Amino acid sequence: MLFMKGSPKEPRCGFSKQMVEILSKHGVAFSSFDVFSDEEVRQGLKTFSNWPTYPQLYVAGELIGGLDIIKELEASGELGAICPKVQKLEDRLKALINKAPVMLFMKGNKQV
């Protein structure tokens, strides 16, 4: 989860923009939350995380850090090991096809 200023499509600060660019470049699967959309979350998360600035990146519920730390992880090659990747379409399809002994892909559901 990326707590940022703005959204990935429209970052509202340079640090958030750089963070999105790094995560996207490495194919990291992430959701985001615009801290400008909720002042209580914006202020409360600073206390909760003991991290005074945004963006803040969390993986599996744990604070990884802000932009400087993400840049360090990228430079050391550790970013890929920490962050989950976006699943490739081929891998998703293989998982779906093998979900049951017989798999039917159809429009709608069994009842309709």
Give the tens place of pLDDT for each residue, 59-96: 999 999 999 999 999 999 999 888 877 777 887 888 88
Q: Is 65 helix (H, G, I), strand (E, B) or coil?
A: strand
Does residue 52 form part of some domain? yes
Residue 63, domain CATH:
3.40.30.10
In a domain, 101, yes or no: no
Do 2 and 34 form a contact (C-beta atoms < 8 A)? no
Is 51 inside any structural domain? yes
Residue 111 within any structural domain of the chain:
no
Which pLDDT value is given to residue 95?
84
pTM for this model (two decimals): 0.76
Average pLDDT, the chain: 92
Read off the tokens for 61. 């519920």
Retrieve residue 22's tokens.
């790094």
The total number of structural domains in the chain stands at 1
Q: Rounded mean pLDDT of 16-35?
A: 95
Distance in angstroms (rounded) separating the CA atoms of residues 81 and 31: 18
**pLDDT exceeding 70 applies to what percent of the chain?**
98
Q: Is residue 105 part of a domain?
A: no
The pLDDT, as a whole number, for residue 27 is 87
- Helix 67-76 to helix 14-25 angle, to the nearest 10 degrees? 30
Do the strands 56-59 and 62-65 form a parallel or antiparallel pair, or are they unpaired? antiparallel
Is residue 73 in some structural domain?
yes
